Amino acid sequence: MIREELAAVRDQFGDPRRTEIQASHLDLSIEDLIAEEDMVVTVSRTGYAKTQPLSDYQAQRRGGRGKSATSMKDEDVIEHLLVASTHDTVLLFSNKGKVYWLKVYEMPNASRGSRGKPLVNMLPLDEGEAINAILPVRDYRADSYIFFATAKGTVKRTSLDQFSRPRSVGLIAIDLEEGDRLVGAAITSGSDHAMLLSSNGKAIRFEEGNVRSMGRTARGVRGMRLQGGAEVISLIIPQSQQIDAEADIETEAEEGAELESTNGNGGQIYILTASENGYGKRTRLEEFPLRGRGGQGVIAMQTSERNGSLVAAMQVYSADEMMLITDKGTLVRTRVDEVSITSRNTQGVMLIRLGENEKLVKTVRIDEPEEVESEAIEGEGESLDGPDANENGAESESQNDE
């Protein structure tokens, strides 16, 4: 019965096919099949990488406890944390001056309880090669640059569009002389300032325009003159809002106003310096004068017998937290606002109590607080002097600027 009725409908209303079926090639890439989403990308000090959806981190009111971004084993800590889209490319620069490319969606998507996947399983890294700078890129703009700094004081600026053709084996990003290594890389606008800080406690700040744009395989020019076996230990690119604020410093001073350098959210910008013997301090960015490149710089921190060499320097805000890491595997987490604010030519205060023959080797800025309070994971850390505590004491002596 049903068959007969369907046949009658076909005979009454049926007509030839009006649409044409044609074979065609769909020009689709894997990226076209990936939903665009903001991801939190983390890389640990021992080279474990992963991504997590930014939506996993719910916005909180000021003073919230936050969530741990990852589960770290002993002697490991998140060293690089950034937010990028799944369609973005991440440029990874190694200490040997090479650059590697990874799409964010190619990196393992893991839960907060997972450590992720070792970078050596994703990149053809040589023995002794380590990633020390990670930069997210969406568009390879010709008017943006990558600024490089090496341990021997060489700097280079290369147009971002010269890194637009990825190679699976990586490419040379900067030609290093024998015994040199890349210590930092950052994306700049062409009108930013650059700061180099050295192990002997000196700092130099200059306009990036003083370094002409060079090709990808060029070696670069002198950014800082080093003496006595000193090495550059940090590259800092102060935020552009900071530079705009300082442009009016003379006018503001004449009007009797107090000018403080701030980021886009109004937070005071500081340079945090730390020495190998566990001492450190915060200094306002405007205390570092703008000079030409190639000089010895000014004193950023006294490298006395008590302090030892400068081992870490970074741009921070009072709301940040940081991790202190020693060569014996001790990790201490603390708040930046607990570190005293002093002038450049001072020794600072104790950041961490070190054991016998133990040295501080690194500090890491933490953007998102975890669910635990500041504590030593191995060993015992010391509480810090507050920003108003004993700035005129024995630990913050000489005020004679260079």
- CA separation for the pair 237, 7 (Å, rounded): 78
The DSSP-derived string for 232-284 is EEEEE---HHHHHHHTTHHHHHHTTPPP--B-TTSPBPEEEEEETTSEEEEEE
Q: Give the residue from 311, 322, 280 showing the smallest Cα distance to 78.
A: 322
**Residues linked to residue 272 through DSSP beta bridges, in sequence order:** 282, 314
pLDDT 10s digits, 226-268: 998 999 999 999 975 444 444 444 444 344 434 445 554 447 8
> Regarding beta strands 193-198 and 270-275, do their DSSP bridges make them parallel or antiparallel, or are they unpaired?
unpaired
Can you give the C-alpha Rg of the chain in angstroms?
Answer: 26
Element (H, E) at 99: strand 98-103
Q: Which residues of the chain fall below pLDDT 70?
A: 57-76, 240-266, 367-402
- CA separation for the pair 274, 278 (Å, rounded): 7
Q: Do 346 and 397 contact (CB within 8 A), yes or no?
A: yes
- Give pLDDT, residue 365: 87
pLDDT 10s digits, 70-103: 555 555 677 888 889 999 999 999 999 999 999 9
Pair of tokens at residue 96: 């040997």
Q: Do 155 and 114 contact (CB within 8 A), yes or no?
A: no
DSSP state letter for 366: E
- CA separation for the pair 147, 159 (Å, rounded): 9
DSSP state letter for 293: T
- Give pLDDT, residue 27: 77
- CA separation for the pair 107, 91 (Å, rounded): 12
How many Cα atoms are found within 13 Å in the side-chain-facing hemisphere of 273?
A: 32
**Residues linked to residue 333 through DSSP beta bridges, in sequence order:** 323
Element (H, E) at 4: helix 2-13
- CA separation for the pair 191, 147 (Å, rounded): 12
pTM score: 0.77
Q: Give the residue from 306, 308, 390, 303 showing the smallest Cα distance to 341.
A: 390
Looking at residue 238, its amino acid is P
Looking at residue 62, its amino acid is R
Q: Do 213 and 142 contact (CB within 8 A), yes or no?
A: no
- CA separation for the pair 76, 196 (Å, rounded): 26
* Structural domain spans, the chain: 34-90+100-130
- Give pLDDT, residue 392: 41
| Triad 199, 205, 208: Cα angle to 5° | 120
CB atoms within 10 A of CB 371: 9
**Residues linked to residue 308 through DSSP beta bridges, in sequence order:** none
| SS3 at position 287 | helix
- Give pLDDT, residue 209: 95
Q: Give the residue from 325, 337, 330 showing the smallest Cα distance to 369.
A: 337
